[in-house]
Each structure stands twice: as C-alpha cells, then as structure tokens.
Structure 1
Amino acid sequence: MENYLLLSFILLGSGIAIVPIAVWLGLGSVLGFLIAGMLLGPALIALNVDVDNMEQFAEFGVVMMLFLIGLELAPKKLWDLRRRLLGLGGLQLICTALAIMGLAMALGQQWQQALTIGLIFSLSSTAIVLQTLHEKGLLMGSGGQASFSVLLMQDIAVIPILALLSLLAVPDLAATGAGVISHGPATSLGFSLNLVQTLPEWLRAIVTLGSIVLVIVAGSYLTGPIFRYVESAHLPELLTAMALTIVVGVAVLMMVVGLTPALGAFIAGVVLANSEYRHDLEKEITPFKGLFLGLFFVSVGASVNFKLMIDHLGLVVALTLGVMIIKAVILLFLGRLFGVKGENNWLFALGMAQAGEFGFVLLSFSVATHALSADLANMLIIVVALSMVLTPLFFLFYDKVVAPRYAALHPREI
C-alpha cells in the first residue's frame, strides 16, 4: 500500500510540476509528461518500480481516447473516411514496411529480421498524435483526418502483423534462445485472455465477427435502458461507473477474441455516437482519459534505457532520425497523392513520423517468437521511445515554421 501511494505521489507530482512549464514554453503537455518520465526514470529504478507493467496499465488511456474519438464519429462520417482508411492507411503500412526493410537489409539484417523491423516501425503513436492534434484543435482538419485514418488502419493491422511475425522466426535464434528483453512482455495486449488462439482459423473469424456484432447490437439497443436504470438511483458516481464499465467491458471482450482493446473501444464509441447519452459518456470518461494518458507518457519517458543509449549514442540517433525521415517522406508523398495539401500535408507527415506504443509490444513478441534477438530488440526499443520523445518537437517545428510560412503565402487558405 505504501509503495503505491508513494508512486502515485511521485507520478502526479512530477506531472503537476513539469507539464505547466512545458505548456508555457509552447512544448505541449505530451512533451511535458515525457520529460517528467525521463527525469523520473533513475528514481523509479532505484525504487524498484516495474515501469513496463506501469506502461501496460497506463495504455488504458489509449483505449479511452479511441472510445471518445468514436463518440465524435457517427457511422456515416466513418464511411466517408473509407478511401483514406483503406487506401492511404494501407499504402502507408506497405510502403513504410518495405522501405525500412530495405534499410535494415542494407545494414546487414536477414530478410526475416528486416521485414520484422519494417512492420514494427510502420506503426505510429496513436496516443501522442491524437492527443496533440486534439490539444491544438487540428484533429478535424484535412491533416488531422488523414492522420486519424492511418492510425485507425494501423490499429486494425496489429493483429495480422502479430500473426505474420510468428512466421518470421530465424532458425539460428530459435536454436540459441530468445534472450531477455528489457521492456514490456507480450501480455500487454492480453494474450492470456485470448481464448480463440487455439481455434481453427474459420471458427476464430466467426467468433471475432460475432463479438463485433454483439458490441454493435448491445450498444444500439441496450445502452438506453441500462442508463435509464442507472439514472433512476440519482447517484452521479453510478453514471461514472457505468461509463467505465462499458469501456472496460468492450476492451476485455476484444482481448478475449484476439483483437486490440483500442479497436474495440473505438467500435463501441462509433456505435454510441448517435446515442442520447453520448455527452454523458464523454463527460464521465474524459478526466480518466487525461490521467491515464499522462501516466502513459510518463512511463514511456521513464522506459528510456539511458545507459544503453549513451553507449551507442551515435547509432541510436542515426537510426531514430533515419526512421523518422523515411516515414515523413513516404507520408508526405502519400498525403499529396490522396489530396492532403499544403500545411495539412506537412502536419500529417511530421506528426506521424514516429514509431508507436505497439512497437514495444511487437518487439517483445518478436523476441518470444525468435524473429529478433534480444540485443537487437533492446536497441530498437530505445529507437521507438526516442522517436516518440522527439515527436512533440516535430509538432513544434510545424507550429513555428511550417504553419506561419503557409499563412503568409496563403492568408485566406483554410
């Protein structure tokens, strides 16, 4: 009990102390939380805090965020995004994976390991990008909608990527053992709850589809009566409990059938977008989302292995910038191809250039399935974390350099 109280005090106190300064300096709350985590890292290690488990717990903030975004998107609006969701999102995954695979092979990796690395770094950070776009009021613009479409496609693609990684095992690694990875076990997506992984493929597909249908039907027809029943008690805390129960329940159901909880929460949010209780749900969930996301960003900052990074500083920086530049160039090209123009295209490319939080999960899974060695995975974990830490600086570059330049050239352009 004392340990949890001390940890809560440290995490909340650091955020309260540092985030206002970061916001005042124009860096944004995300970078403030990341800096707080980086400063706290050594202290958390000294206190024997399991940062990996803390981050897995804090990932629930991403689930809540996607649920709230779903509430803002009625099914018709989501259907209008289908071209960017499938076309832009799908092409981004393929092009980025192949480009980074080529870079990895040029650096001496076998094709299986190179493809594994390419798939992992094809994903971006849903938490950082959407939270930053929301704070800046840019989520509903052309660049924000393109970013959202790609991020949603990436969340959908996580499960096929996991299945593919299990087929990319390197015999030499399987013979020598996976080794030990220093970040996040593969259980952060709830594999212990995955009850369908032993089923035949056709039956697994039916169960997964049935679960999605269950969420849609229950959300459409049962939410109203349940909320009216809860409201009859005239206790505001019960409404909060009901809202959390919906999000947690859908997340657990999605893990049971092998999908990502974030995807399930988004589906539930879309289903409830036309509900009369939409605004009540949004009001009750929003404070929890902010707290969990703050904790998630702190844990990402604390997860940076400074000793390993300093020992290989040149390589780590070169890999991080190389990955981010490759992704930004691909995104800039694809954005223009799909009609994202001007400063919106730069917002899309710069904001999505980092690796994502699912990279930690996929790297751990890759070691467990002998697709990557533990030493290589530990190095790549630093690249993932560092790219996330640098992302707010990319947004700052957009705010201070790109947006003013386009505003001066096209003062009437929206």
Structure 2
Amino acid sequence: MGVPFTFVHAADLHLDSPFKGLTKVPEAVRQRLRESTFEALRRLGNVVKQEGADFVVLAGDLYDAADRSLRAQLRLQRMLADWTAEGIGVFVVHGNHDPESGRQAKLDWPAGVHVFGSAGSAAECVPAYRRSGELAAHVYGISYPTAAVTDNLAMRYRKQEGAPFHLALLHANVDGDPAHDNYAPCRLAELAAAGFDYWALGHVHDRRVLHEYPHVVYPGNIQGRSVRETGEKGVYVVRVSEAGEVRLDFRGTSDVLWMEKGVSIEGAEREQQLKDRLLEAAEEARHSAGGRPVVIRLRLEGRGVLHDALLADSAAEQWLDELREWLGSPEERDDWVWPESLSVRTAGAANLRGLAAEEGFLGEFVRRGIRASEDPALGRELTDEALDVFRSQPKIREWLSSRSDEDRAELIRRAMELTASMLRDEDAG
C-alpha cells in the first residue's frame, strides 16, 4: 500500500513556437499566436495549483528549437519557481526539439526541479514526494543528448524497488507512428511488460491512452501549432489512490484553437446560399471555442451546381478574402475567427459514372480516370506520366513524391471534373 497523490503529466510545450506559413495574417492574429504557447503555459500553471498536484512531469520538447529562445527559458524558469515555492516537485526530460546539445542560457533552476540527463547505461531513478513529505513514487527518465535519437531508450529503464509506485518519463515514438519522426522507437508491448505503473510519454501531439494498468499515456501538446493539430490541447491530471488505482482527467490549456470544417454545396443553387453556409460554419466554430480565438481551415465539399464556378481561377481565393472581410477585423474582438485557408473538394452536378457510360472521348476519358482513382498503382502510373514534364523542377518533384495514393485519387477526380466541365461548355458553345 502506498499513499494517495496527484501529479500533472504534460509534454511538448514548444514554447515560443514561430508559427510559420500563415499568409495575409493581421498583426492581432500574429501576436496572439506568438504568445499562445506562453498563455498555454500559464493555463498549465493554473491546472497544477487548482488540482492540488504534488508534482509535475514534463515529457520533453519544452522548447521549440534546440537553440532555446531566451524568452522561453526565462518564462519557464519563472513558472517552475512558482510551483516549487509551493512544494510542488518538477521532473523533466528533454526530447528531439530541445536536446542537451542545444544552446542554453546559464540560468539556475529552482530547487525542486530535477532534469534527467542522457549519460549512463540505465535511466536515472529519483524519488518523488507528496507536498506533505511522504514518498509517493520513483520517477525515471532519460533526456536526448542530440536531436536525432534512434536507439530504443525504453530498454534502458529498470525498476528499482523501494517505492509504492513507479513512473517512467520518456519522449518516444511508440509502435512507429508514421505521423511523427521515429525517434527513440519502442513497442507498446515492451512498455507494458517493463514493470512500471505509468509511462509518461511525449512526442506525439494527440492525446492517447495506449494502455491501462500499466498506463501508457500521451497527453499531447499544450497548444496547437497548425491546422494539423486541431481541437483542444492540454494535460492530464493523474490521481493515484493508496491501492495504486489510477484516474486520468484531461484539462484543456489551449489559448487559440485550430479547427477544420467541411461546408457542403449540395442543394445550394445560388452564391448567397454558399455565403450563408460559410458564415454559419465560422460562427459555429466561434461558439464552440468558448470565448477563445479560432484559426480555421474550411473545406468546400459535396456535389452541386456551384462546382464549376468554384473551379474558376482564383475563385477559392476570392471567397476566402471576402469571408475574412465579413467576419471583421481580429482587432475588434477577442473571440475572433480567422479563416486560414479555403479548399475546394467539390464535385459537379453531373455524375461521373453516368458520363462513363457514354460513348466517345469523354466517356473513355472518365472511365480511365475512374479506374486510376480506384487502383493506386494505376493512379501513380497515370499521374507520373501526366506530370513527368514537371519533374525537372525540384520543388514540384518534392511535392509529387510526398503525395499519398489518396491525394493522387483526388487529383485525378478533380481533373476529370474540370475536363468534363470544359468539354460540356465547348459542346454548348
């Protein structure tokens, strides 16, 4: 039997993330995004205090770059000092974004903060205490010495007896998630069999509970940094009973929410109807954000008569520019909604399979396109052949090589739609 205790599991703070790639962004949006990781850190601090945490574990990538910004280091130092002043311990490992080899300011970390190093053949083990002084757990960890660690660090963790609970802190890619760099790769089965009670993971930016008893947990990052990181981000508050029962409670910390929404053109026969639907989608996003600002990517989809007009040159850009105007300046309100982009994934009113039944060139063209969109190998062959002339351009070649089979199928479908539309217009003329 142990003692009941509470800890907060956070990871991937990415303090002072630069938020690159946004175009035509007003200064109010740019500034809010720039400060959003620090505001998320402040919200994390509130969670730690409000939930009565005995200690905090930070599972890597505290900073966004190996050469940490001075601002990020000073802000974190102040937060950690605030926690330790109340008897809250802090345990830290560094990951691929903030390895030990990165440039660091010469700062003194508060007493009560333990940063695990990378040296040694086994993970370091240190005690963690309740604020009242009782031993709560052993905490284990290894930091990255350099950015690209490809060894299985999990194999270096060995449980040391003498504590009622064993918590392993690790920045790693479990089971080779293809959406993340394969650093410190390991297998879930290895972690589950290692004898620890809780694996506090970092690196994957989506919150995931991979296993229970033992718990293997990704909390995700504390603030989304792009449209690939949509929805609420935050941390887990972990409560452990005297008997070792574990309860997880997620707490949001996002200052700015990233969202992606689809807007259907089905049944819309006039541009006014599309305008109304775009505004409705934006207002729904605003309402769901609970007073926080939103960066949203909109995706026009469905089949309808407006499809052909949406394929016209710069049509999507015009709709996007006008939507930004309708929503008003982010300078005027705190709960602004900024449309990051608008993509067209619609289909024409004509049924492609109906066209495929026709005789002549158009029917044969559509039939071949349908086969290529449904057969990945044929799709790769067709797109490679059609775009071969562009492969001499390095950026285009890189873009082509990064397309998935789904991307290629979408490209083929859009080409069929556009060609069918042009040929119908030609026949009508």
**TM-score, normalised with respect to structure 2:** 0.20
TM-score by length of 1: 0.21
Greater relative CO, 1 or 2 (CA 8 Å, sep 6+): 1
Hey, which of these two has a bigger chunk of strand by percent? 2
Choose between structure 1 and 2: higher helix proportion.
Answer: 1
